[in-house]
Structure formats: C-alpha cells, structure tokens
Amino acid sequence: MSVTELNISPVGRVEGDLDVKVYIDNGKVTRAHTQAAMFRGFEKIMAGKDPQSGLIVTPRICGICGGSHLYCASSALDTAWGTKLTPNALLLRAIGQASETLQSIPRWYYAIFATDLANKKYADKPLYKEVVKRWSAYVGETFQIGLTASGLPVQIYALFGGQWPHSSYMVPGGVMCAPTLKDITRAHAILAQFKNDWLEPVWLGCSIERYMEIKTWDDMLAWVEENESQRNSDLGLLIRAGLEFGLDKFGQGVGKFLATGTYLHKDMYNNPTIEGRNAALISSSGFFDSENYHEFDHMKVSEHVKHSWYGNQEDGLHPWDEPLPTPMKSQTLHDSDFDNQYSWSKAPRYDGHAAEAGPLARVIMNANPNNKEHQIRDPLFGDIIKKLGPSVFTRVLARVHEAPRIYKFIEQWLSEIDLDGEFYVKPVEKDGKGFGATEAARGALAHWIEIKDGVIKNYQVMAPTTWNVGPQDGNDNPGPIETALLGTTIEDPLDPVEVGIVARSFDSCLVCTVHAHDAQSGAELSRFKL
C-alpha cells in the first residue's frame, strides 16, 4: 500500500494556528511534522523599550495565559534589579497564577479536549452514549456546567489584578494592590461557588479531601468503583471511557519532561535570585529523563532554528545569546520543504534533549522523592508513569488532577495575607540580566531579559507550546508532538480525529509561540489568507 500524506489545517481549537502534516502507511502515522503558521514578533517589539514595558506588552501575548506572562516579566526584572518581595506580594502573585490555571482546567477539558470523545469513531463503545450526552460541544449536560464554572476563578484574579485577562498588577518589587477584608471574603465566596457548582458534585463526586487521599494507580481505580457518585462523576467517566476508548495506547511522546516550577514560598524568596529560585518553589522544577530526576538549570536551555524560518542565528544558543529574530520567507503547509525550514516555532532543547512541557511534567516533578517539606509531595503520577507510561490518557488525567490541589492552595494563601502588611517595595533600577519563569496552565513558561543603558537590549520568551510544538532540531530529531503522533492509527483519513486528539492533549496554543508585526517600520512581514 502506498504512503498517504495528510495536510491538516488547522488542528487546534480556539487558538487554531497549528498545522500538521502526517504520512500514513498501512493505517499508521510513520512521519509527522508540526507547523506554527505565524511569525512571533514580540521580541522585536520589546527591543529598545523601557525595561518595565514587558509588564504591559507580554501579557498581551495570550488571552488565556496573560497572567503567566506577567508573572514571568515581573520575576525577570526582580532578578535583574535585585528587588525585595514581601510575603504578601508573593502570596498575591501565587493566587493570581493559580487562579488563572484553575480556570483553564474545566475550560480546556470540555471545550478543547472532551468533545473529541463524542466523535463517531467511538460510536461502537458501550460508554459512547453517556459521553455524547455529557460532553458534546455546547449541548452536553456537563459541558455547559463546566464552561460556566471556568469563569469563576478569574473573578478572583480580577479582584486583585483589576482585570483579567491582560492585567499588570504584578510589578518588580511586589504587586500594585492592597486588598481589603471585603476582597478576601469575596474571593473565598467565589472559590466556594466553584467547588459547589462543579468541582465536587460534577467533577469528583466526592469531597476534595477524599480525592486527595489517592496515592497510586490502584488507589485511583478503587476510588472509581468505591460508590456510584464517584463512578458516575465526570472524572470517573473520563477514567472509564478513556481506558475503554484506548486513550492510554497512543500519543506517548518523547518520554522526557521539563518543568520550570511555580508558586514561590512567601517566606523563601523575599530576596529574589536566579540561583535561589529552585529551593523556594512550592510546585517544583526539574527535568525527568524517563528514569532519573535532574535539577533544573536554565543555562541548559537552548533553541534550534535549522528547521525554522529564521535567518540570523546559530543552532543551540541560550536565550540570553540569541539575536532578535530575523524572519525568512515562509511557505504554506502544502508548499513547505520539510527537509529544510518549515515552521515559525523554534525547537527548544534541555541539555540537548527534546522535552515535553505541561501538566504531566508538573505532576511527575511532584512525585520526585527528593522534594522538600514545603514542596508538593504527590507520588501518584510517579506510579502511573511506571504502570501506564505517557499517553493521551495520562496527559489528560494529569491536567485535571491539578484542580483539587490548586483549589486548596488558593484557599490557604487567601487566609495567609496580612492586610496590615506591605505589598510593594520600590526597587532600584539598573542594567543587568534577568530570568523569570512559572508554570502556565499549559506548562513551562520563561522570560529572559538583558538591560543595557537603561533599556531592553534583548528579550526572549519561551512558551510551553514552543517546547511541545517545536520542529526538528539541528540533528533532525523531531519535537514532542511530532514524536507523539508516530505510530498513531488513523481509522478514517477523511476524519483524522486521532491527530487532533494527540495534539489537543498537549493543549497547543500558537498565539504564545508565534505572532507578528513590525510596528516601527510598518513593513509587512508575511501575509495570510484566512
């Protein structure tokens, strides 16, 4: 049988700029290429600007993860300027970051991922009718409940940030708000509504506390069958249908994971430094090579451009050493030469390795037996990876597993705010280099800045989707999604939903990866027909 080529554009939902080309032989994907179809120009926009312009500009990179970019932008300046951060400032930054991630969990699950399980591909499965009844787009019974609930956590963000998305309340030296008791009380009430409307009755079918007792895969399976409430919850259905539909059998990926970590402890990062960041994290950073854990070192991060449409840099440069991007002529998916350049995304590597970023990477780091007392210690996904390995199923399960824990963190941090304490300490501006990172809902996000003569000399952003959707590197090794697609069975080439399921399990978001516009010269960089 001859090899069939499929050009799929777009693959993404909502942020639909991801294109994929796959080669199918005997019904299985034997080669895959991901293409980011728009140029990112934010680094060019930042050059020559006031160092604090990143607080305004970078949150506009993404309408979903704008708070995560603000977290990174302020943290990069904290380390460049050597600021002071009070416990209140660290708590309010963590609450903002956690609120943004919490809203994304039901929104992503119902609107981006679960609707694929209502595809006719699974029509012969016993649980198909129940899945269609609950998770069909727009009309599903719990689709509507989950989407409505997803708007609640960002109300908490807006209480402290003034607005969501695109707030600028995090600044070097702290935060630009001083909440009142009324604000804290209101935030607690919104959080409780999120729990009572969706998290416990619809998603878990039990209390948060009962769910967080699960420590192994066997515990999880026993929890599903413990009673009808848990078995018939949306999480119970995901586990039963996910295994019945075979989501644990494809989409494995590169098997290496990277997390930059997030939520800096209120008493451990009051004098921010790059070197002191790992130890102060609550959700730990690290690199997992499929067998061993390694401490995260941002100096081991590099980007390759051999297969990207950039013309002025070498392969394997650290972000501080990368030049501002110089775009080359791009091609459409149909016309691209996949032996040469074929994407606007660069190819990030950690210590030379392609690595998956995202919730699965985070929960694997949480299972690191070396985590400190103040860090998350959750062995569940260490056990799941050993027993099931990475797949679409484990990737999805990792993301929804975070909701109860994040809920408890926000509840705790709200109670720790000292309303009479300080929220901001004015920093002294100076030249230097800075690094700021966090975990956006989709995974590892980092900003690097170099300040010279009082303005930005260089600014580089590396988003989680850049890690996952990046093309081949300088040695022609494929990126994580390209690898995850290999071996996938495509039942109907006219409806290759399997490609979408794999790509969407990573929650690829191209607006963080690519963008474009030369505001200074007005020059047209590229033209797209929509």
The pLDDT tens digits for 234-288 are 999 999 999 999 999 999 999 999 999 999 999 999 999 999 999 999 999 999 9
pLDDT value for 89:
98
- Per the annotation, does 275 bind a ligand? no
Residues ≥6 apart with Cβ < 8 Å to 268:
276, 279, 280, 374
Question: Residue 324: is its pLDDT beyond 90?
Answer: no
pLDDT value for 527:
40
Question: Residue 321: is its pLDDT beyond 90?
Answer: yes
Provide the domain count of the chain.
1
Q: Which among 10, 194, 30, 2 is positioned nearest to 104, based on CA atoms?
A: 194
Task: Tell me the torsion sign for CA atoms 163, 168, 172, 173.
Answer: negative
Task: Tell me the torsion sign for CA atoms 278, 67, 189, 210.
Answer: negative
Q: Which amino acid is at 103?
A: Q
pLDDT value for 521:
52
Percent of the chain with pLDDT over 90: 84
pLDDT value for 33:
96
Give the C-alpha separation, 237 to 225, whole Å. 11
- Per the annotation, does 166 bind a ligand? no
Question: Residue 510: is its pLDDT beyond 80?
Answer: no
The pLDDT tens digits for 91-120 are 999 999 999 999 999 999 999 999 999 999
**Overall average pLDDT of the 298-326 stretch:** 93
Residue pair 86/416 in contact (Cβ under 8 Å)? The answer is no
- Per the annotation, does 62 bind a ligand? yes
402 belongs to a structural domain = yes
The pLDDT tens digits for 519-529 are 455 454 444 33
Find out whether the peptide bond into 327 is cis, omega within 30 degrees of 0.
Answer: no
- Per the annotation, does 524 bind a ligand? no
Residues ≥6 apart with Cβ < 8 Å to 67:
59, 96, 97, 99, 100, 157, 161, 164, 165, 167
Residues ≥6 apart with Cβ < 8 Å to 105:
150, 399, 400, 402, 403, 406, 441
For the record, the structure tokens of 470 come out as 């990046």
pLDDT value for 13:
67
> Most distant CA pair in the chain: distance in Å?
73
529 belongs to a structural domain = no
- Per the annotation, does 461 bind a ligand? yes
For the record, the structure tokens of 2 come out as 């001859």
420 belongs to a structural domain = yes
Residue pair 410/318 in contact (Cβ under 8 Å)? The answer is no
Give the C-alpha separation, 357 to 486, whole Å. 18
Question: Residue 398: is its pLDDT beyond 70?
Answer: yes
457 vs 65 pLDDT, higher one:
457
The pLDDT tens digits for 414-433 are 999 999 999 999 999 999 99
Percent of the chain with pLDDT over 70: 95
522 belongs to a structural domain = no
Q: Which amino acid is at 515?
A: H
518 belongs to a structural domain = no
Task: Please tell me whether residue 413 adopts helix, strand or coil conformation.
Answer: helix
Q: Which amino acid is at 34?
A: T
515 vs 22 pLDDT, higher one:
22
Give the C-alpha separation, 53 to 293, whole Å. 36
9 belongs to a structural domain = yes
Task: Please tell me whether residue 296 adopts helix, strand or coil conformation.
Answer: coil
CATH number at residue 465: 1.10.645.10
DSSP state of 11: -
Q: Which long-range contacts (CB under 8 A, 24 or more apart) does 232-236 make?
A: 232/205, 233/202, 233/203, 233/204, 233/205, 233/206, 234/134, 234/142, 234/146, 234/202, 234/203, 235/203, 235/204, 235/205, 235/400, 236/205
Domain of 498? 4-512
- Per the annotation, does 206 bind a ligand? no
Alpha-carbon dihedral 130, 131, 134, 138, rounded to 10 degrees: -140
Residues ≥6 apart with Cβ < 8 Å to 373:
none
63 belongs to a structural domain = yes
Q: Which residue has the tokens 């030379």?
A: 352
Give the C-alpha separation, 484 to 497, whole Å. 14
Q: Which amino acid is at 424?
A: Y
- Per the annotation, does 72 bind a ligand? no
* Burial state string for 261-278 with b = 16 or more CB within 10 A and e = fewer than 16: bbbbbbebbbebebeebb
Q: Which amino acid is at 312?
A: N
519 belongs to a structural domain = no
**Average pLDDT of the chain to the nearest whole number:** 93
For the record, the structure tokens of 436 come out as 């700021």
Give the C-alpha separation, 288 to 351, whole Å. 12
Residues ≥6 apart with Cβ < 8 Å to 6:
21, 22, 24, 490, 493, 496, 499
